[in-house]
Chains A and B, each alone.
Chain A
Amino acid sequence: MPLRCVIVEDEPLSRQYITALLKGMKEVDLCGTATTQDEAVQLITQLQPELIFMDLELHTGTGFEVLKEINSPALTVVFTTALDHLALKIIKLSGMFYLQKPLDAEELEAIVKKIQGSNNVGVFQQPLRYLLETLHNDNMPVHIFIPGNGEEYVALKNIIKIESADKGTVLHLKDKGIKHSNVSLKYYELLLTDFNFFRVNVAVIINLCEAEINKISGDIIKLADGSSTEVSPKKREELFIKLAALKCT
């Protein structure tokens, strides 16, 4: 059974392009297109599609606003975006599907096949729950997706530090546990720097809200698990700036 899908895209050329790409795939059945925030809310509520291709930036609002308005976690959404800013970081941290514009036909097909071939669509709907949680929390992630074998979520506040490891990274948690992840430290640095995390040296990112730091010397006195780590000299100035602007909740 092909997936019933809708496209939310306001830019005519991009819409024509993705429409053409999807029409060439037997795994999907395109049953509607929306170009504004209101249209999108109406269309999705009415058609209850199995898959939504959602442009992040609409003239009339954002894809986030569409989802907040519908406020149902039982949807499978693939974001499409030409941007690499905060919104994309939120998407990545929630574990949602996303495609970078201009869309690559192969990537699109891979996602479609993955969803269509699965017996349990619930798995693909799970990230939306966490995305909505973030969106309702003033865009501050509450749980983040940890790419790896387990594919699980960890509360952001529970993370003390993230360290480089042999294959990927290790997350040290407040409840003394650790989590392995198969992505690089750079991945977390890019995504978490906006959310009170800071890479203090080549091998370690720390949660600034869970660290005791000497605000004069920039030395880390201790982390929540009692451990400590070096702050690389060239990172100090940046660290001071971060600390000055730090707001923990």
Chain B
Amino acid sequence: MNNDVKHLENRIQELEKENAGLRLNPAFRTQGATVSVPEEMKPLFDVAQQTVNNYFVDLKMEPTKGTIEINDQRYILIRASAMSKDFLDTIQNLYADRGEAEAISIGKNFLFDIAHTLGMNDAKNFHAKMNLTEPIAKLSAGPVHFAYTGWAFVDILPESNPSPDENFYLIYDHPFSFEADSWKRSGKRSTTAVCIMSAGYSSGWCEESFGIPLTAVEVTCTAKGDERCTFIMSPPHMIQGHLDRFHLHGKDNVQKQASYDIPTFFERKNIEEEMQRSRALAEGSAKAKEDFVANMSHELRTPLGSILGFTELLKKTDLTGTQGEYLDAISSSGNSLLTIINDILDLSKLDAGKFALENVPFNIPDLLRTVQNMFAQKAKDKNLLLTVSIDAALDYSVYGDPMRLRQILVNLLGNAVKFTEAGSIDLRCTTESEDDEEARICFLIKDTGIGIPADKLPVIFERFTQAETNITRRFGGTGLGLAITKQLVELQGGEITVESNEGSGTKFSFSLSYAKAPAEAPVFKEQSAERPEYDAETTILVVEDNLMNQKLTGIILKNNGFNFIIAENGSEAVELLKDNKADLILMDIQMPVMDGYEATCIIRDDMHITTPIIAMTAHALAGEKEKCIEQGINDYLPKPFSEDDLLRKIAQWIGKGNTTHNAKLAEEIKITDLTFLKKQTRDNADLIREMSEMFITQTPRNLRELETAIGLEDYTAVYKKVHALRNSTALFGLATYIGETLLSMEKCALSLESTESIKTGFLKVKEYCDKAVTELKTP
């Protein structure tokens, strides 16, 4: 009886104790250790036990307020299996289309990542809250905390070596884990790793504690039918080695196969970092590529220019027949090389989106005929019939980019001539559709050449592709031409198509839309190939650092009777101009000591010299010309240039406004035109004389006032003066030369921008006005 009473009393006490625990009585204390560890680690874990216990002692649970709080921090309750088994089931349904293995792998990686991050965050938070600073103290709180929060119980095995370096090795069992429990309760046996979150959370906590990357892998699990749940934790790069050793020497030896589910967390992190690095690298390298191409163009084109230039000069000396042949070979190889460099430059411009299209009025039939002339001789040499038929209705000019259209046609016709051994080549141009303002023009190039095999047709527009690899050997070429052609067509809003039958010929066609230009629009004309007229009694300053180019330019100038001075760089040029007068300056842009832009600034702004400056540069990239003109340079001659190119440019600028040196020329080509006034006033000679006199007195004054206004940056005054000049010069036919310049100066002045272009514009206007005044003074 007493025994029974005693027993019952004991039982009541136990129940009260349990009840107190369940009611979260603060007086309730956990008895004993939650973690089992090797003997030498015990003191450490006793402290950890105490720390964690202190943390969890203050627990509040008030369902009416939806709060669970431990040590003033909010917690939530989640059903254990929802975090593991249920979650994996859901993922498997969601990703059913990927197959079971992949779906499980997705789900597991997800769980591991989340748990790892949770572990790291919880550790960080706990360490801060409990003022833990020692890595080992931080770490040992982990397994205890783990038990308190219901993840698992931990038994650390004696083989463990928790050193804060790459030798970190932890082998431990979970006598209980919520994940294994979830599986066992479901009555199913898992075939793959089960305690994924536990592994993730533990390794996260330890990683945060020691500050070294760690991962953990479940090697055996009761939910898989093993005797216990065992885990190995180590730095990710060491884990495979530990697993192999475990497999070989493991005393349990239950694991039949050596493949474990190693979380790919770290791999993915590495891949992401790698991707970020490559992205940064790619961005950098695009810029580097652009710079490289620009530099390469300079480096390649400069010596190539010398080679071609000297070859041309050499051709003019007395040669034996053989020497002539050799020279022709040098010149033709050099020109092919130049074409290749130009192709690569074009592509790099297209890639960089820097290919600026012009929009100028031009005449398509004229352009087609020029292109026809280009190929007439080549076709004749091969006995081919080259015909060009143009829609007769195409009797108007259009707005567009004539140079690009020309480039496309030259590429396609060049190919046609190259790949046709006999028969004919047709270039046909028809109107596809048109209205009052626009016309869509179709261009068709048809040959009777070798054709393209059907299986190669889809790839011919790709870079470095030719229909057959032996084409390059037979016909040469880089395989860039069609790629560029296609991009050029597309850039202008068209599409290029090809039809071909092997052995019987090829047909390329594309159509482009053009806005119709009014009949009075001044039409772009290609520069005539005829030798230009020029006055050689002139001194030209050549500013150039490259010795070969100095010599080459010098010889061309000397052969054509020009006087010339050479300056090694911009600063020498500036010095030379202090004592010498030049009628024209040929200015290299890239030079040591002082480059061409800087020199131009000094010449224009400090020395007030208005001598025309022509830039010579191998920087053939888009925008270079505009940059030159902005800097006060009058014109631009891309390197390498031929003798004709140079002479044409010189002729273009000598005599334009340089009246003192060119009175003869000035007389020959008058810029003033009295036709308008004569017609309007019914040839009232007295009136025209009066008006001319007024122009002669008024214009220099207007120019002076304008110059002052520009100097004072008084843009209202600049606008009014320019506007007045535009009105008065138009009466004398000067609008053809400076109308556009004056109009753009007005616009600049109104918008208070590009003072440089106002200054450059002024120089041009002054040159023309001075010349006009001189002309009107000498009837």
What is the interface of chain A, defined by CB distance below 8 A to chain B? 10-14, 16-17, 20-21, 24, 57, 59, 82, 101-105, 184, 186, 202, 234
Q: How far is the CB of A173 from chain B (nearest CB, A)?
A: 25
Residues of B676-692 at the interface with A, using a CB-CB cut-off of 8 Å, are 676-677, 679-682, 684, 687, 690-691
In-complex Cβ contact of A21 among B437, B681, B695 (8 A): B681
In-complex Cβ contact of B723 among A13, A16, A82, A184 (8 A): A82
The digit string for B690-734, where 1 denotes a CB below 8 A from any CB of A, is 110011001000000000000000000000100110111011000
Q: How far is the CB of B210 from chain A (nearest CB, A)?
A: 52
With A12-B698, A59-B720 as contacts: A102 and B730 at CB distance below 8 Å: yes
Please report the C-alpha to C-alpha distance between residue A107 and residue B677 in the assembled complex, in whole angstroms: 14
Q: Note all chain B residues with C-beta closer than 8 A to A11.
A: 724, 727-728
| Interface residue? B668 (CB, 8 A) | no
With A82-B726, A102-B727 as contacts: A13 and B695 at CB distance below 8 Å: yes
In-complex Cβ contact of B694 among A12, A101, A186 (8 A): A12
Given contacts A102-B676, A202-B438, 20 further A-B contacts (CB under 8 A): A11-B727, A11-B728, A12-B694, A13-B691, A13-B731, A14-B731, A16-B691, A16-B694, A17-B680, A20-B681, A20-B687, A21-B680, A21-B681, A59-B720, A82-B726, A101-B730, A103-B680, A104-B680, A186-B437, A234-B493
Q: Note all chain B residues with C-beta closer than 8 A to A21.
A: 680-681
Question: A13's closest neighbor in chain B, by CB?
Answer: B728
With A102-B676, A186-B437 as contacts: A17 and B723 at CB distance below 8 Å: no
Question: B721's closest neighbor in chain A, by CB?
Answer: A59
Please report the C-alpha to C-alpha distance between residue A24 and residue B684 in the assembled complex, in whole angstroms: 10
| Complex contact A184–B681 (CB within 8 A) | no
| Complex contact A105–B695 (CB within 8 A) | no
Please report the C-alpha to C-alpha distance between residue A241 and residue B723 in the assembled complex, in whole angstroms: 31
Q: Note all chain A residues with C-beta closer than 8 A to B731.
A: 13-14, 17, 102
Listed residue (B437, B720, B727) with the most chain A CB atoms within 10 angstroms of its CB: B727
With A13-B698, A20-B684, A105-B680 as contacts: A184 and B727 at CB distance below 8 Å: no
| Interface residue? B159 (CB, 8 A) | no
| Interface residue? B435 (CB, 8 A) | yes
User: Which 8 pairs, one residue from A and one from B, show the smallest C-beta to C-beta distance?
Assistant: A13-B728, A105-B680, A102-B730, A11-B724, A20-B687, A14-B727, A11-B727, A102-B731
In-complex Cβ contact of A184 among B436, B493, B687, B698 (8 A): B436
| Complex contact B684–A82 (CB within 8 A) | no
Please report the C-alpha to C-alpha distance between residue A14 and residue B493 in the assembled complex, in whole angstroms: 45
Listed residue (A13, A14, A202) with the most chain B CB atoms within 10 angstroms of its CB: A13
In-complex Cβ contact of B727 among A13, A20, A104 (8 A): A13
Q: How far is the CB of A223 from chain B (nearest CB, A)?
A: 23
Q: Note all chain A residues with C-beta closer than 8 A to B681.
A: 20-21, 24, 105
Q: Note all chain A residues with C-beta closer than 8 A to B684.
A: 20, 24
| Complex contact B690–A16 (CB within 8 A) | yes
Listed residue (A14, A24, A82) with the most chain B CB atoms within 10 angstroms of its CB: A82
Question: A203's closest neighbor in chain B, by CB?
Answer: B435
Please report the C-alpha to C-alpha distance between residue A16 and residue B315 in the assembled complex, in whole angstroms: 61
Q: Note all chain B residues with C-beta closer than 8 A to A186.
A: 436-437
Q: Note all chain B residues with C-beta closer than 8 A to A24.
A: 681-682, 684
Please report the C-alpha to C-alpha distance between residue A103 and residue B720 in the assembled complex, in whole angstroms: 19
Question: A84's closest neighbor in chain B, by CB?
Answer: B743
What number of B residues sit within 8 Å (CB to CB) of A? 26
What is the interface of chain B, defined by CB distance below 8 A to chain A? 435-438, 493, 676-677, 679-682, 684, 687, 690-691, 694-695, 698, 720, 723-724, 726-728, 730-731
Please report the C-alpha to C-alpha distance between residue A104 and residue B730 in the assembled complex, in whole angstroms: 12
- Per DSSP, chain B at the interface is helix
Q: How far is the CB of B339 from chain A (nearest CB, A)?
A: 34
Q: How far is the CB of B359 from chain A (nearest CB, A)?
A: 15
Q: How far is the CB of B87 from chain A (nearest CB, A)?
A: 38
| Complex contact A202–B691 (CB within 8 A) | no
Listed residue (A11, A184, A202) with the most chain B CB atoms within 10 angstroms of its CB: A11
Q: How far is the CB of A238 from chain B (nearest CB, A)?
A: 15
Q: Note all chain A residues with C-beta closer than 8 A to B493.
A: 234
| Complex contact A101–B727 (CB within 8 A) | yes
Please report the C-alpha to C-alpha distance between residue A14 and residue B679 in the assembled complex, in whole angstroms: 16
Please report the C-alpha to C-alpha distance between residue A142 and residue B682 in the assembled complex, in whole angstroms: 42
Please report the C-alpha to C-alpha distance between residue A105 and residue B720 in the assembled complex, in whole angstroms: 25
CB<8 Å pairs between A and B, sample of 25 = A11-B724, A13-B691, A13-B695, A13-B727, A13-B728, A13-B731, A14-B728, A16-B690, A17-B731, A20-B684, A24-B684, A59-B720, A59-B724, A82-B723, A82-B730, A101-B727, A101-B730, A102-B676, A102-B727, A104-B680, A105-B682, A184-B436, A186-B436, A202-B438, A234-B493
Please report the C-alpha to C-alpha distance between residue A59 and residue B723 in the assembled complex, in whole angstroms: 10
Q: How far is the CB of B589 from chain A (nearest CB, A)?
A: 35
Q: Note all chain B residues with C-beta closer than 8 A to A59.
A: 720, 724
Please report the C-alpha to C-alpha distance between residue A125 and residue B682 in the assembled complex, in whole angstroms: 31
Please report the C-alpha to C-alpha distance between residue A104 and residue B679 in the assembled complex, in whole angstroms: 9
| Complex contact B726–A13 (CB within 8 A) | no
With A13-B728, A14-B728 as contacts: A202 and B694 at CB distance below 8 Å: no
With A14-B728, A202-B435 as contacts: A57 and B691 at CB distance below 8 Å: no
Q: How far is the CB of B213 from chain A (nearest CB, A)?
A: 45
| Complex contact B691–A17 (CB within 8 A) | yes
Please report the C-alpha to C-alpha distance between residue A57 and residue B436 in the assembled complex, in whole angstroms: 33
Q: Note all chain B residues with C-beta closer than 8 A to A105.
A: 679-682
Please report the C-alpha to C-alpha distance between residue A57 and residue B677 in the assembled complex, in whole angstroms: 22
Q: Note all chain A residues with C-beta closer than 8 A to B720.
A: 57, 59
Please report the C-alpha to C-alpha distance between residue A16 and residue B677 in the assembled complex, in whole angstroms: 12
Q: How far is the CB of A105 from chain B (nearest CB, A)?
A: 4
Listed residue (B676, B679, B724) with the most chain A CB atoms within 10 angstroms of its CB: B724
Please report the C-alpha to C-alpha distance between residue A59 and residue B709 in the assembled complex, in whole angstroms: 14
Please report the C-alpha to C-alpha distance between residue A20 and residue B691 in the assembled complex, in whole angstroms: 10
Q: Note all chain B residues with C-beta closer than 8 A to A82.
A: 723, 726-727, 730
Please report the C-alpha to C-alpha distance between residue A21 and residue B680 in the assembled complex, in whole angstroms: 8
Question: B437's closest neighbor in chain A, by CB?
Answer: A186
Q: Note all chain A residues with C-beta closer than 8 A to B437.
A: 186
Q: Note all chain B residues with C-beta closer than 8 A to A16.
A: 690-691, 694
Q: How far is the CB of A54 from chain B (nearest CB, A)?
A: 14
Q: How far is the CB of A226 from chain B (nearest CB, A)?
A: 28
Please report the C-alpha to C-alpha distance between residue A24 and residue B681 in the assembled complex, in whole angstroms: 9
Please report the C-alpha to C-alpha distance between residue A171 and residue B217 in the assembled complex, in whole angstroms: 78
Q: How far is the CB of A23 from chain B (nearest CB, A)?
A: 9
Question: A20's closest neighbor in chain B, by CB?
Answer: B687
Question: B513's closest neighbor in chain A, by CB?
Answer: A234
Please report the C-alpha to C-alpha distance between residue A59 and residue B435 in the assembled complex, in whole angstroms: 43
Question: B681's closest neighbor in chain A, by CB?
Answer: A20
Question: B680's closest neighbor in chain A, by CB?
Answer: A105
Q: Note all chain A residues with C-beta closer than 8 A to B694.
A: 12-13, 16
Q: How far is the CB of A128 from chain B (nearest CB, A)?
A: 24
Q: Note all chain A residues with C-beta closer than 8 A to B436.
A: 184, 186
Q: Note all chain B residues with C-beta closer than 8 A to A234.
A: 493
Q: Note all chain A residues with C-beta closer than 8 A to B679.
A: 105
Q: How far is the CB of A21 from chain B (nearest CB, A)?
A: 7
Please report the C-alpha to C-alpha distance between residue A103 and residue B730 in the assembled complex, in whole angstroms: 10
Please report the C-alpha to C-alpha distance between residue A103 and residue B681 in the assembled complex, in whole angstroms: 11
Please report the C-alpha to C-alpha distance between residue A20 and residue B723 in the assembled complex, in whole angstroms: 21
Q: Note all chain B residues with C-beta closer than 8 A to A13.
A: 691, 694-695, 698, 727-728, 731
Question: B695's closest neighbor in chain A, by CB?
Answer: A13
Q: Note all chain A residues with C-beta closer than 8 A to B677.
A: 17
Question: A101's closest neighbor in chain B, by CB?
Answer: B727
Q: Note all chain A residues with C-beta closer than 8 A to B438.
A: 202
Question: B677's closest neighbor in chain A, by CB?
Answer: A17
